[in-house]
Amino acid sequence: MWEIIQTYWLYYLIGQYPEGPLGGLALTLVLAALALLLAFPVGILLALCRLSHYRSLRWPVTAVVYVVRGTPLLMVVFWAYFLLPSLTGQMTDQFNTMLAALVIFDGAYLSEIIRAGIQAIPKGQTESARSLGFNYLQAMRLVILPQALRNMLPSLVNQFVSTIKETSLGYIISLNEVSFVATQINTQLLTRPAEVYLLLGLTYFVLCFGLSRVAFWLERRLAAGVAHQ
Amino acid sequence: MNSFDVPMLLSGQYHDWLVSGFALSIKLALITLVIALPLALVVAVLRLAPIAMLRAVGVVFVEAIRNVPLLAHMLFWYFGAPEVLPDSIKAWLYERDVEAASAVIALVLYTAAYMSEDIRSGIRSIPKEQMEAGRALGFSFLGTMRLVILPQALRMTVPPLISQTLNLWKNTSIAMVIGVAELMYQAQQVESASFRSFESFAFATVGYLMISLAITGAAAWYHHHYPVRSA
């Protein structure tokens, strides 16, 4: 295993960059971070629609969230792969296909986290904000969301862990992320699949386990903060 | 784009491919569920065992599996694991359905790791006096678990286990990576043979949604008939 790392570490970490496109572990991280960042506003929007008083907003969005949560991510990836070029009228590369699929998928999941976070804030907060003269959106933006997001922080870090794991599906559309790169290395070596894939598993483990410890630590800190108040 | 070709999905060769994929997906999910549930129970009890060594085994199992994507598990069990076996066993394996076997192994381990966490939190929600009372009455650790704790805990664990079953159902789609001919694989086969992307993906989506909604419905039914009681 040690020789494999010595020979391929740079390729494994950044792909063919700077001669070619960015790949490997760096691409996995960039994709996951970008997906979560873009999915976040989508999630807030969907959550607000699901909590809306207007049925014409609440029902269709609830249906969309149920459909997305009831389908595998792979299905969403295939739809994106197939629909994006005909919608935008030009070829979509693998990175943007995967990004679009992840934003839709994570947006739906995040909306559930955000909805639960908003619902956990006592109703009195909205009522007092409204009676102080804020309109609905101001009350949301200035009073409810800042508190809700703070409480959601551990769940958001956990969602990031899930997103990192989800980027591995880019493998199927030949996106140059770390699982795909590992397979490329395996094809070059041919005889040592067990070691290569063990290394791949270990890489994900270090990354995701580390992050989930961060989430755990945040949770404890937030709980301690609440106890102090 | 041509109009949506419904007859193609209702009969003929492509229909047969898709239906066989759908059946295999369901089979994968059921086999995995049957093996993963008892394994999850064992791991959950291990994590609460009175011996530190056993607890460590449980923690390592759960963390090592949960923090690696299912796709990497599949790749490892399909490409990696058979290579370290002796040649005779390997030959025996490759005569059989090694794709499906690797997929089931990966799915079982992955699902069991998640389910064991749900069962563990169910067990932990039972007041610890119950365990103490059981032990004081002369039951062993396992005896108390089996006769006192688990019957109460498992009732509470059903809703999270149902939602894990939903995840399992969606996760079966990843088995296509190693060439298991389940629904997603067949949808892609039909797509590349007929160039009817919209039809084949629509079939697969409806197939996945139907089972997902049925599982969600089961969760709602359970919630309605057995509402959460505080212990």
Q: Which of B67, B171, B174 faces A209 most closely, judged by CB atoms?
A: B67
- State the pLDDT at residue B12: 87
As a whole number, mean pLDDT of residues B2-24 equals: 88
Per-residue pLDDT of A73-93, as tens digits, reads 999 999 999 888 888 888 889
**Chain center to CA of B225:** 25
Give the number of A-B residue pairs with CB atoms closer than 8 Å: 109
Per-residue pLDDT of A184-224, as tens digits, reads 999 999 888 999 999 999 999 999 999 999 999 998 998 88
Per-residue pLDDT of B168-182, as tens digits, reads 999 999 999 999 999
- Report the distance separating Cα B6 and Cα B170, nearest Å: 25
Shortest CA gap A52–chain B (Å): 23
- State the pLDDT at residue A229: 56
pLDDT at B138 over 90: yes
pLDDT at B108 over 60: yes
- State the pLDDT at residue B31: 97
Both tokens of A105, joined, read: 């998928």
Q: Do A165 and B80 touch (CB under 8 A)?
A: no
Which residues of chain A does B69 touch, with a Cβ-Cβ cutoff of 8 Å? 164-166, 168, 179, 204
- State the pLDDT at residue A58: 95
Per-residue pLDDT of B15-24, as tens digits, reads 999 999 999 9
Per-residue pLDDT of B53-76, as tens digits, reads 999 999 999 999 999 999 999 999
Both tokens of B149, joined, read: 């704790």
Q: Which of B81, B177, B205 faces A194 most closely, judged by CB atoms?
A: B81
Please state, as a whole number, how many other Cβ atoms lie within 10 Å of the Cβ of residue A96.
Answer: 14
Q: Do B209 and A70 touch (CB under 8 A)?
A: yes
Asked if B143 is an interface residue toward chain A (Cβ–Cβ < 8 A), one would say no
Helix ranges (DSSP H) in chain B: 6-10, 13-47, 52-66, 70-75, 87-95, 98-124, 128-136, 141-144, 150-171, 183-194, 197-225
As a whole number, mean pLDDT of residues A37-58 equals: 95
As a whole number, mean pLDDT of residues A156-172 equals: 95
As a whole number, mean pLDDT of residues A172-184 equals: 94
- State the pLDDT at residue A228: 61
- State the pLDDT at residue B229: 64
Q: Do A66 and B81 touch (CB under 8 A)?
A: no
Which residues of chain A does B166 touch, with a Cβ-Cβ cutoff of 8 Å? 70
Query: In whole angstroms, how large is the CA radius of gyration of chain B?
Result: 21
pTM of the entire structure? 0.92
* Range 61-90 of B in CB contact (< 8 A) with A: 63-64, 66-73, 75-76, 79-81, 83-84
Does residue A68 contact residue A104 with C-beta atoms inside 8 Å? Answer: yes
Per-residue pLDDT of B83-103, as tens digits, reads 888 888 888 888 888 999 999
Q: Supply the ipTM of this predicted assembly.
A: 0.91
Does residue B8 contact residue B196 with C-beta atoms inside 8 Å? Answer: yes
Shortest CA gap B213–chain A (Å): 7
CA angle, A82 then A72 then B42, to 5°:
155
Q: Give Cβ neighbours of residue B74 (< 8 Å, ≥ 6 apart).
A: B102, B103, B106, B174, B175, B177, B178
